[in-house]
């Protein structure tokens, strides 16, 4: 199944590139190719397999104000803004390592001494399955970047300005409500207060998003009673939304160290969504529990549900599923903000949902984010901790891996690294990767797995990988994303049944 197609370029059709852009080669083909690249009104460059620049076109020389030799001798890094350099270097290294396309945004210093935002992209041209030449472009996105920044600044200023008169209106509303007795006016005032609250929430969300974009969403960590926070938030939401009964089915008692206000915000968002997207129902169930040193909170509704193909996009900014955008109002910001808050508490989130039947939104927070993962058993061929079990039975070609419980970035990286070690030390090339005991965690480690872990597994000897899926659709998305590397050479297949997975693995000939 080695997928070597993708965006890769066939060397034979671009033979001038395989000569590493030797400007002394005057063959007709070569010259016309160089003329073509030089005529492009865009920065074009090539690099070798080590990442060193081998060619830059005329546009680059013009923009930077140096000739080709000087730019190649100094390297591209000397023209990148120092603040953007670490990220660009790490992405470039990742691309060189994995063979995957390179994309980054950075500011480049031009001959006029100013920096301009560019979008850099490069693809590796393969020979024998490995890229040995990279062809890249830098597109000027300065105006677009500035416009985005201006838009964020405008949103930030506008929401600040809107907040002040709104707070005053809210105050007057409360004063009036206190002074009128039961009756028609009071009912009208209550409805008006409800709308003011909605407006206030929209403005707060806009403000938070502009802060997240500017990296300025501040957190105030302190120890608080988690159960009291749950009760208070639920009581507050129940008062605003009498249409549904919010039931706290299970509770936990513990002092948790985090930003109470921000976590209330996550819960409020999950609860208001559960109510908003279940117009035909009358209850919302909340559970809180402790598992493997994690607090797990779930909010379940009997509402419209979400189609599996939309699950992965819900936590993006401004995303709204098709079945809700026209029927329910909202800006599509709440989950984006919630995701950021949970991430900043080293937690993760996931969704179980079925269209027409309802959804359960869950988040998990580690009680002690610094807690080490301890091995319970560790021998040459057997390893076990609370997240993973790896064993390599004698006289078998297969390494068995069993993941258990709620995973996160840290546990996946830890377990994934052990898999590489055990695979190599036990000279195995087939892996039976069992995820049946993993609940619906959206692991943020998927990108790491695809870009770093999978190539290292292949280097350690991986040829065939049977992935037995977790029953959760959200976890399945994360599984597929973890092996989404078009340069992979191992064969990876997904199964719902362990027996089918094992059958497939045993049939593969090495
Ligand atoms: P908003 O509700 O303002 O659109 P959110 O970011 O809170 O923004 O939610 C994003 C999208 O996720 C919603 O537009 C909706 O499509 C979907 N969604 C969120 N919660 C639920 C739910 N409980 N049931 C069904 N769909 C939901």
Assigned token pair, 100: 């995957």
Return the pLDDT at 175: 93
Domain count, the chain: 4
Ligand 1 atom with least separation from CA of 303: 24
Question: 127-140 burial string, b = 16+ CB within 10 Å, else e?
Answer: eeeebbbbbbbbeb
Return the pLDDT at 10: 37
Residue nearest to ligand 1 atom 8, measured at CA: 332
| Residue of 203, 270, 273 best suited for mutating to test ligand 1, as the one with most atoms within 8 Å of CB | 273
**Is 331 a pocket residue for ligand 1 (Cβ < 6 Å)?**
yes
321 C-alpha vs ligand 1 centroid, how far in Å? 7
- Please tell me whether residues 348 and 419 are part of one structural domain: no
Return the pLDDT at 30: 65
Strand partners, 404: 437
296 C-alpha vs ligand 1 centroid, how far in Å? 20
Assigned token pair, 137: 């472009």
Q: Tell me, what CATH number does 36's domain have?
A: 3.30.450.20
Return the pLDDT at 21: 38
> pLDDT for 193-241, tens place per residue?
988 988 998 899 998 988 888 788 889 999 999 999 999 999 999 988 9
Compute the distance between CA of residue 96 and CA of residue 93 in angstroms, rounded to an integer.
Answer: 5
Residue 19 in domain: no
Residue 2 in domain: no
Q: Which residues contact 18 (CB under 8 A, 6 or more apart)?
A: 11, 125, 127, 133
Compute the distance between CA of residue 197 and CA of residue 383 in angstroms, rounded to an integer.
Answer: 54
Instruction: Look at residues 213, 234, 254 and tell me which one is the last residue of a structural domain.
Output: 213
Three-state DSSP at 421 gives helix
314 C-alpha vs ligand 1 centroid, how far in Å? 7
- Please tell me whether residues 251 and 334 are part of one structural domain: yes
Q: How far is CA 160 from the centre of its chain?
A: 29
Nearest to 243 by CA among 284, 209, 285: 284
Instruction: Look at residues 345, 366, 387 and tell me which one is the last residue of a structural domain.
Output: 366
- Please tell me whether residues 310 and 331 are part of one structural domain: yes
Return the pLDDT at 17: 41
Residue 15 in domain: no
Q: Tell me, what CATH number does 232's domain have?
A: 3.30.565.10
Residue 275 in domain: yes
Instruction: Look at residues 157, 189, 213 and tell me which one is the last residue of a structural domain.
Output: 213
Ligand 1 atom with least separation from CA of 333: 6
Return the pLDDT at 11: 38
Return the pLDDT at 27: 61
Q: Which residues contact 438 (CB under 8 A, 6 or more apart)?
A: 403, 404, 405, 406, 407, 470, 472, 475
Ligand 1 atom with least separation from CA of 277: 24
For the chain (length 510 residues), average pLDDT per consecutive 10?
36 39 53 76 92 93 94 92 93 88 94 95 83 90 89 86 90 92 90 89 89 86 96 94 96 96 96 95 97 93 92 77 74 89 90 93 91 92 96 94 89 94 96 92 80 92 96 86 84 96 93
Residue nearest to ligand 1 atom 7, measured at CA: 334
205 C-alpha vs ligand 1 centroid, how far in Å? 14
- Please tell me whether residues 160 and 136 are part of one structural domain: no
- Please tell me whether residues 94 and 150 are part of one structural domain: no
Task: For residue 28, count other CB atoms closer than 10 A to its CB.
Answer: 7
Residue nearest to ligand 1 atom 25, measured at CA: 305
User: pTM score, two decimals?
Assistant: 0.71
Residue 72 in domain: yes
For residue 238, give its domain range: 222-366
**Is 306 a pocket residue for ligand 1 (Cβ < 6 Å)?**
yes
Q: What is the dihedral of CA 453, 457, 458, 460, to 10 degrees?
A: 140
Ligand 1 atom with least separation from CA of 331: 3
- Please tell me whether residues 196 and 272 are part of one structural domain: no
> pLDDT for 46-76, tens place per residue?
999 999 999 999 999 999 999 999 999 998 8
DSSP 383: E
**Is 256 a pocket residue for ligand 1 (Cβ < 6 Å)?**
no
Asked whether the beta carbons of 338 and 272 are under 8 A apart, the reply is no
- Please tell me whether residues 389 and 413 are part of one structural domain: yes
């Amino acid at each position: 199944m080695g997928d070597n197609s993708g965006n890769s370029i066939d060397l034979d059709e671009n033979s001038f590139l395989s000569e590493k852009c030797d400007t002394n080669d005057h063959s007709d083909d070569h010259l016309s190719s160089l003329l073509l690249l030089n005529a492009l009104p865009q920065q074009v460059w090539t690099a070798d397999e080590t990442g060193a620049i081998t060619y830059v076109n005329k546009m680059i020389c013009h923009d930077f104000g140096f000739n080709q030799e000087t730019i190649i001798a100094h390297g591209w890094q000397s023209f990148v803004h120092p603040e953007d350099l670490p990220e660009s270097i790490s992405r470039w290294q990742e691309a060189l390592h994995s063979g995957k396309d390179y994309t980054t945004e950075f500011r480049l210093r031009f001959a006029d001494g100013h920096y301009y935002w560019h979008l850099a992209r490069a693809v590796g041209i393969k020979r024998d399955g490995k890229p040995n030449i990279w062809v890249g472009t830098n597109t000027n996105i300065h105006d677009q970047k500035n416009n985005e920044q201006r838009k964020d600044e405008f949103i930030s200023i506008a929401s600040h300005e809107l907040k002040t008169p709104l707070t005053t209106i809210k105050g007057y509303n409360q004063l009036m409500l206190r002074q009128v007795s039961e009756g028609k006016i009071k009912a009208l005032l209550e409805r008006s207060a409800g709308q003011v609250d909605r407006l206030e929430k929209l403005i707060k969300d806009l403000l938070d998003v502009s802060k997240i974009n500017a990296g300025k969403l501040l957190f105030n960590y302190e120890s608080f009673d988690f159960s009291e926070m749950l009760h208070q938030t639920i009581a507050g939401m129940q008062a605003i939304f009498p249409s549904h009964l919010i039931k706290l089915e299970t509770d936990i008692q513990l002092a948790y160290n985090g930003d109470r206000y921000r976590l209330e915000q996550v819960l409020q968002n999950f609860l208001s969504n559960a109510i908003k997207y279940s117009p035909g129902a009358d209850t919302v169930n909340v559970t809180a529990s402790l598992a493997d040193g994690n607090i797990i909170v779930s909010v379940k509704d009997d509402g419209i549900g979400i189609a599996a193909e939309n699950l992965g996009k819900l936590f993006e900014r401004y995303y709204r599923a098709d079945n809700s955008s026209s029927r329910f109002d909202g800006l599509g910001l709440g989950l984006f903000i919630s995701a950021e808050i949970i991430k900043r508490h080293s937690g993760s989130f996931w969704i179980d949902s079925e269209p027409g039947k309802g959804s359960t939104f869950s988040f998990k927070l580690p009680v002690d984010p610094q807690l080490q993962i301890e091995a319970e058993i560790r021998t040459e061929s057997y390893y076990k901790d609370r997240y993973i079990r790896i064993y390599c039975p004698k006289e078998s070609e297969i390494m068995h891996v069993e993941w258990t419980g709620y995973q996160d970035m840290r546990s996946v990286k830890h377990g994934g690294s052990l898999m590489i070690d055990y695979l190599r030390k036990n000279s195995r090339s087939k892996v039976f990767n069992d995820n049946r005991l993993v609940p619906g965690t959206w692991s943020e480690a998927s990108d790491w797995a695809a870009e770093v872990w999978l190539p290292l597994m292949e280097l350690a000897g991986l040829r065939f990988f049977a992935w037995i899926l977790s029953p959760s659709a959200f976890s399945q998305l994360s599984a597929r994303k973890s092996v989404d590397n078009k340069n992979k050479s191992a064969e990876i297949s997904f199964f719902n049944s362990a027996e089918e997975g094992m059958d497939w693995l045993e049939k593969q000939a090495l």
